[in-house]
């Protein structure tokens, strides 16, 4: 669709584009075709995303604004002050939309005999259970603080939920003229006490109540606490008590001090602790709270009008809906498609032997992530393997990756792990894994000063007939079993000695940072990625000018780098056809005459989170295909260690082009990126439904059937 007006801007604002992405998540929650319990899950994801946005992006713009900088250069022509206003407006609107969606979902759940009740709707049978549950499970975990007499207001933790409590104390009683006790009304003002109750994280937010028929009842932990307020505050002689939820979000900027004597691990632990006391950037409260209670909290916490103060509903931390109990109602969830095996990589025999014969591609979660674990387990036991090197960014709770590496170290292999201590919000867990690995004699590298390591690489060295041979894999995603069930990522297993020699050089660079290596095959940030992609785009431009077929197909999470966007605009003007599948932020404006008429851009938001990065360049009929850990964002191109790997195997190349085309044909879950951020669905009424993720799964299933038919 080509717009004939000249756009005011060349770029879309990055924060607003991100909010538009989160609006797509909200669209999934609102979509009646999405199973009910999954709609609740999408509400949770929407809320979780928003928390992170405030802790990181909003906080960064706010820092600019407080420093008195308008930041127009950084923010593409809008002042930081104006942007904060705009963001708050959009967020308040999205919040109220999410509450509206929640109440619709709750009504539909009731038609399915699932009732979310509050403390006023408890039946006699449920009453005993709730009292008992509170005494056994909740009460021991509660932190309750009476606030009136404290010199210093307690530190409210980021991301925890709190009940702000107001107690109105009964007046003292005095003897009346006739000797009976009456209230002392000489002081008309009642004494008021305020308290705060922190909701325990150790108890599930959703309490499933026993039911004696086919009806399911669920009550939120908040309401269990409200129901038992008397149990908590019985020592106060009060005549009324009320509790309203509040929540605070803090700036998540890590301040890392420059003390040379401390290890990076110590500094980051300290930074994570200090993040708890980061500046508040958002205060959300239940809008039915009494004025005086709200003012008491705002004043005592030092929150003023420059902060984002957002009226919300009765419940916050709706991210907890991500783990709403399924109550055995699998009919209200998406059908889980079991991850498929990779043809040719059977589950018995040596995986290294197979990779030696040819490259394999793993496309998770369509195919099973377990191949990565199997690769590491085999390397840990194989007597000929002498070393394993791997980069780790985000790990799952009980990481099988870590246990495989420890197993390898116990078997005398030299194991080198580059672990990114600054993987945002995973710092604490990565520190504890680091300590565990250090104890087991694993050689740890903590990144490169000033650069986050975001590449996903592994290389194994094996002695064969007196020579060292390398095996390895390169991925677009984190080596994390839990997220591998919901994030789409591709991993290339290879025995290509030159590529793996490059991978090995990256580990040398981690060790000695001042030596900049040359790489024959890989594009490595921060030194080469940008210029290599410029060259590939330039080649398409020359082909277009020469009248040859010229196209670029890119799939990524975010496109925010202005120079890269300008380069794509240039290619579009010269007639290169460009297709972009961008899940998240897209600062490029597609379809504008004279600027980007040859560019189309879509976003797919569905049951899986689209995370893989695949880059395809036409090259006059000999397409070149790359997989990468890098998005086209300034930080990925210039400020991190990222790896982009060419795909040489013709079958895998075809597979990546095929799956890109399937994604491109998607219409039900695909929205068009546009300047006005309206998230219009791509589907036209007359088109047949084509759900890209489902069709991708079918593509891999059909491949398997072909293999089995040949046996």
Which residues are known binding-site members for Mg(2+)?
Answer: 394, 424
Contacts of 67 (CB under 8 A, 6+ apart): none
Q: What is the DSSP string of 69-107?
A: ---TTTTTSS-HHHHHHHHHHHHHHHHHHHHHHHHHHHH
Provide the 8-state DSSP code for 642: -
Provide the 8-state DSSP code for 493: E
Peptide bond into 526 cis (omega under 30): yes
Helices (H), 329-426: 351-357, 370-381, 400-410
Contact 185, 171 (CB under 8 A): yes
- Let me know if 454 is a catalytic residue: yes
Residue 484 corresponds to which tokens in the numbers above?
Answer: 């591998």
Strand partners, 244: 164
* Sign of the four-CA dihedral 231, 234, 240, 246: negative
Element (H, E) at 589: none
Q: What is the DSSP string of 282-349?
A: EEEEETTS-HHHHHHHHHHHT--TTSEEEEE-S---GGGGGG---TT-GGGSPPPPPPBPPTT--SSS
For residue 209, how far is the Cα from the chain centroid? 31
Contact 365, 485 (CB under 8 A): yes
Which residue in the block uniquely carries the two structure tokens 């239940």?
286
Q: Rounded distance, CA 598 to CA 576, Å?
A: 7
Q: 150-188 burial, b if ≥16 CB within 10 A, otherwise e?
A: eeeeeebbbbebbbbbbbeeebeeeeeeeeeeeeeeeee
Residues contributing to the annotated binding site for ATP: 49, 487, 583, 611
**Exactly one of 216, 316, 454, 673 is catalytic; which is it?**
454
Residues contributing to the annotated binding site: 49, 394, 424, 487, 583, 611
Active site residues: 454
């Amino acid at each position: 669709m080509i717009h004939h007006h000249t756009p005011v801007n060349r770029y879309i604002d990055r924060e607003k584009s991100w909010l538009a992405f989160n609006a797509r998540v909200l669209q999934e929650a609102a979509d009646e075709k999405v199973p009910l319990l999954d709609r609740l899950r999408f509400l949770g994801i929407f809320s979780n995303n928003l928390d992170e946005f405030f802790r990181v992006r909003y906080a960064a713009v706010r820092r600019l604004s407080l420093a008195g900088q308008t930041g127009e250069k950084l923010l593409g022509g809008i002042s930081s002050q104006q942007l904060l206003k705009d963001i708050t407006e959009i967020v308040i609107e999205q919040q109220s939309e999410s509450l509206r969606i929640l109440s619709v979902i709750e009504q539909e759940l009731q038609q399915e005999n699932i009732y979310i009740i509050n403390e006023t709707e408890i039946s006699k049978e449920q009453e005993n259970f709730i009292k008992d549950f509170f005494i056994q499970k909740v009460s021991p975990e509660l932190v309750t603080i009476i606030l009136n007499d404290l010199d210093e207001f307690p530190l409210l933790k980021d991301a925890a939920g709190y009940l702000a409590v107001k107690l109105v104390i009964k007046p003292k009683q005095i003897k009346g003229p006739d000797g009976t006790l009456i209230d002392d009304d000489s002081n008309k003002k009642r004494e008021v006490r305020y308290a705060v109750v922190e909701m325990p994280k150790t108890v599930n937010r959703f309490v499933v109540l026993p039911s004696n028929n086919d009806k399911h009842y669920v009550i939120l932990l908040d309401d269990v606490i409200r129901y038992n307020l008397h149990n908590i505050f019985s020592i106060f002689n009060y005549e009324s008590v009320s509790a309203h939820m509040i929540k605070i979000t803090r700036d998540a900027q890590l301040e890392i001090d420059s003390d040379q004597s401390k290890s990076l691990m110590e500094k980051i632990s300290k930074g994570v602790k200090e993040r708890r006391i980061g500046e508040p950037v958002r205060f959300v409260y239940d809008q039915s709270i009494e004025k005086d209670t709200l003012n008491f909290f705002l004043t005592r916490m030092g929150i003023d009008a420059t902060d984002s103060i957002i009226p919300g509903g009765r419940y916050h931390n709706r991210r907890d809906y991500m783990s709403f109990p399924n109550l055995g109602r699998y009919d209200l969830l998406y059908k889980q498609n079991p991850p498929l095996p990779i043809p040719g990589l059977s589950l018995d025999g040596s995986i290294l032997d197979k990779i030696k014969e040819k490259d394999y591609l793993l496309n998770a979660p369509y195919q099973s992530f377990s191949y990565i674990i199997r690769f590491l387990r085999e390397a840990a036991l194989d007597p000929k393997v002498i070393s394993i090197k791997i980069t780790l960014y985000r790990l799952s709770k009980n990481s099988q990756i870590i246990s495989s590496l420890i197993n390898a170290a116990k078997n005398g292999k030299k194991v080198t792990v580059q672990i990114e201590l600054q993987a945002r919000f995973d710092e604490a867990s990565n520190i504890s894994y680091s300590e565990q690995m250090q104890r087991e004699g694993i050689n740890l590298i903590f990144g490169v000063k000033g650069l986050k390591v975001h590449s996903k690489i592994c290389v194994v060295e094996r002695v064969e007939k007196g020579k060292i041979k390398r095996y390895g894999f390169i991925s677009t995603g984190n080596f994390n079993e839990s997220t591998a069930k919901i994030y789409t990522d591709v991993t290339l297993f290879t025995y290509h000695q030159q590529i793996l020699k490059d991978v090995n050089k990256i580990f040398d660079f981690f060790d000695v940072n001042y030596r900049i290596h040359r790489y024959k095959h890989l594009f490595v940030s921060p030194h080469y990625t940008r210029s290599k992609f410029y060259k590939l785009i330039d080649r398409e431009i020359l082909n277009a000018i020469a009248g040859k077929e010229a196209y670029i197909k890119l799939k990524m999470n975010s496109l925010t780098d202005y120079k890269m966007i300008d380069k794509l605009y240039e290619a579009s003007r010269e007639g290169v056809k460009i297709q972009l599948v961008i899940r998240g932020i897209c600062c490029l404006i597609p379809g504008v005459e004279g600027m980007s008429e040859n560019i189309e851009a879509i976003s797919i938001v569905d049951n899986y989170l689209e995370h893989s990065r695949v880059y395809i360049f036409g090259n006059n009929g000999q397409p070149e295909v790359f997989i990468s850990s890098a998005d086209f964002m300034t930080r990925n191109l210039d400020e991190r260690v990222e790896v982009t790997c060419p795909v040489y195997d013709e079958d895998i190349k075809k597979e990546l082009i095929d799956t890109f085309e399937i994604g491109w044909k998607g219409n039900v879950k695909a929205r068009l990126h546009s300047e006005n951020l309206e998230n219009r669905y791509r589907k036209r009424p007359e088109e047949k439904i084509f759900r890209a993720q489902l069709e991708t799964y079918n593509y891999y299933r059909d491949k398997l059937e072909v293999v089995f038919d040949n046996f």
